């Protein structure tokens, strides 16, 4: 029962705990109900989006996580009473950041036996999946709300406006200088470019993008090919800027920044999830600093 309790607390949902334990959801529900009857108190508040631990549940999880983790390590990495390997750590984030920064840094853990399921997507949708127990960790570009998840700031990414040499005037003095230059955007509502326009130029971006692609690597390659101008985080274009293949169109001492967060559910994470969390934290900080 206690192992089931910890799985529910860590996943934030009955279905997520069932997947982690390899049992049915009714079995998880029955064990949790039995534990609550033994304790004589409710441990989770149920809702359509999952379960929220009570303060008593948080206290119990904090006290039990250490001993259970020690048992797991002592028997070779399996959970108490579990003869199989750890379930995969399910990690979400922006496709470009995952591919170029996070996954290469996790190679040693994969080689050591840690299994990973990497899911690209937008921060809002991925955090919803985290709350539902579908994911274990999310690298998010905005701080999520709510008590069911914990968001730790990682570092700030700096955005710059770039284009291939000759595509746009450099340096750009005002948005009017870019009137004839196609814009390459992450999404149709141009969230990154809108923020750049507002922060750097003090103006509202009214134009439609010429190209949208929800992957900063694709925008970088399109800019390199001469398609137009785009705003990219410095870590995604540092090398091509140094080589002169892209140019910074508006050098600034006060560029727009965005804070990245590593998000997980409340409660003590399983040891293998904690190892991935630590490696992701180091990788993102090192790459963006």
The confidence band for 81, taking pLDDT boundaries of 50, 70 and 90, is: very low
Among 288, 283, 286, residue whose Cα is nearest residue 102? 283
Residue 65 in any domain: the answer is yes
Cβ(197)–Cβ(203) below 8 Å: yes
**Six token digits for residue 50:** 């999952």
Burial class (CB in 10 A: 0-12, 13-18, 19+), 137: buried
- Write the CATH number for 275: 3.40.190.290
Residue 99 in any domain: the answer is yes
Is residue 44 domain-shared with residue 166, that is, in the same domain? no
Residue 81 in any domain: the answer is no
Residue 82 in any domain: the answer is no
Task: Give the domain-ending residue among 21, 40, 74.
Answer: 74
Is residue 22 domain-shared with residue 49, that is, in the same domain? yes
Is residue 26 domain-shared with residue 147, that is, in the same domain? no
Is residue 192 domain-shared with residue 288, that is, in the same domain? yes
Main-chain phi, psi angles of 141, to 5 degrees: -95, 5
Residue 79 in any domain: the answer is no
Task: Give the domain-ending residue among 74, 96, 113.
Answer: 74
Is residue 128 domain-shared with residue 46, that is, in the same domain? no
More confident residue, 149 or 2: 149
The phi-psi region of residue 56 (left if phi > 0; otherwise alpha if psi is between -120 and 50; otherwise beta) is alpha
Q: Which helix (H) or strand (E) holds 120?
A: strand 116-120
Residues ≥6 apart with Cβ < 8 Å to 240: 220, 224, 246
Give the domain extent around 56: 2-74
- Write the CATH number for 25: 1.10.10.10
Q: Which helix (H) or strand (E) holds 14?
A: helix 14-21
Beta bridge partners of 129: none
In angstroms, the CA 154 to CA 280 distance is: 9
**Six token digits for residue 225:** 């090919």
Is the pLDDT score of 65 beyond 80?
no
Is residue 62 domain-shared with residue 129, that is, in the same domain? no
In angstroms, the CA 41 to CA 54 distance is: 10
Main-chain phi, psi angles of 105, to 5 degrees: -70, -20
Number of domains in the chain: 2
pLDDT, tens only, 183-240: 999 999 999 999 999 999 999 999 999 999 999 999 999 999 999 999 999 999 999 9
| Average pLDDT, rounded, for the chain | 87
Is the pLDDT score of 74 beyond 60?
no
Among 275, 277, 278, residue whose Cα is nearest residue 73? 275
Is residue 60 domain-shared with residue 184, that is, in the same domain? no
Task: Give the domain-ending residue among 74, 104, 122.
Answer: 74
Percent of the chain residues topping a pLDDT of 70? 89
The confidence band for 49, taking pLDDT boundaries of 50, 70 and 90, is: low
Residue 261 in any domain: the answer is yes
Is residue 161 domain-shared with residue 240, that is, in the same domain? yes
| Extended strands (E) in 149-229 | 149-163, 184-185, 211-212
pLDDT, tens only, 31-45: 888 888 888 888 888
Give me the pLDDT at residue 45, please: 84
Is residue 32 domain-shared with residue 126, that is, in the same domain? no
Three-state DSSP state, 3: helix
The confidence band for 67, taking pLDDT boundaries of 50, 70 and 90, is: low
Give me the pLDDT at residue 78, please: 40
Burial class (CB in 10 A: 0-12, 13-18, 19+), 212: middle
Give me the pLDDT at residue 245, please: 98
Alpha carbon 274 to chain centroid, angstroms: 15
Residues ≥6 apart with Cβ < 8 Å to 102: 91, 93, 118, 139, 280, 283, 284
Give me the pLDDT at residue 286, please: 93
Residue 80 in any domain: the answer is no
Is the pLDDT score of 138 beyond 90?
yes
Residue 198 in any domain: the answer is yes
Is residue 31 domain-shared with residue 118, that is, in the same domain? no
Is the pLDDT score of 173 beyond 50?
yes
Is residue 271 domain-shared with residue 150, that is, in the same domain? yes
Burial class (CB in 10 A: 0-12, 13-18, 19+), 150: middle
Is residue 235 domain-shared with residue 94, that is, in the same domain? yes
């Amino acid at each position: 029962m206690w192992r089931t309790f910890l799985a529910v607390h860590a996943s934030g949902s009955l279905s997520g705990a069932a997947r982690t334990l390899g049992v049915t959801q009714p079995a998880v529900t029955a064990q949790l109900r039995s534990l609550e009857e033994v304790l004589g108190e409710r441990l989770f508040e149920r809702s359509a989006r999952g379960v929220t631990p009570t303060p008593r549940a948080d206290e119990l999880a904090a006290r039990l996580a250490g001993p259970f983790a020690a048992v797991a390590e002592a028997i070779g990495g399996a959970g108490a009473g579990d003869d199989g390997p750890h379930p995969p750590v399910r990690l979400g984030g922006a496709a470009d950041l995952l591919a170029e920064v996070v996954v290469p840094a996790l190679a040693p853990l994969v080689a050591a036996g840690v299994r990973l399921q990497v899911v690209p997507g937008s921060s809002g949708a991925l955090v919803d999946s985290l709350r539902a127990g579908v994911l274990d960790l999310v690298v998010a570009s905005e701080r999520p709300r709510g008590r069911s998840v914990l968001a730790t700031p990682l570092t700030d990414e700096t955005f710059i406006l770039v284009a291939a040499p000759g595509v746009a005037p450099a340096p750009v003095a005002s948005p009017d200088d870019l009137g004839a230059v196609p814009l390459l955007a992450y999404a149709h509502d141009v969230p990154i470019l809108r923020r750049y326009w507002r922060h750097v130029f003090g103006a509202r971006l009214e134009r439609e993008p010429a190209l949208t692609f929800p992957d900063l690597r694709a925008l970088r390659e399109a800019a390199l090919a001469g398609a137009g101008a785009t705003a990219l985080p410095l870590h995604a274009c540092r090398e091509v800027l140094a080589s002169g293949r892209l140019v910074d169109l508006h050098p600034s001492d006060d560029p727009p920044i965005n804070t990245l967060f590593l998000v997980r559910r409340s409660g003590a994470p399983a040891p293998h999830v904690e190892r991935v969390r630590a490696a992701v934290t180091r990788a993102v900080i090192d790459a963006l600093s």
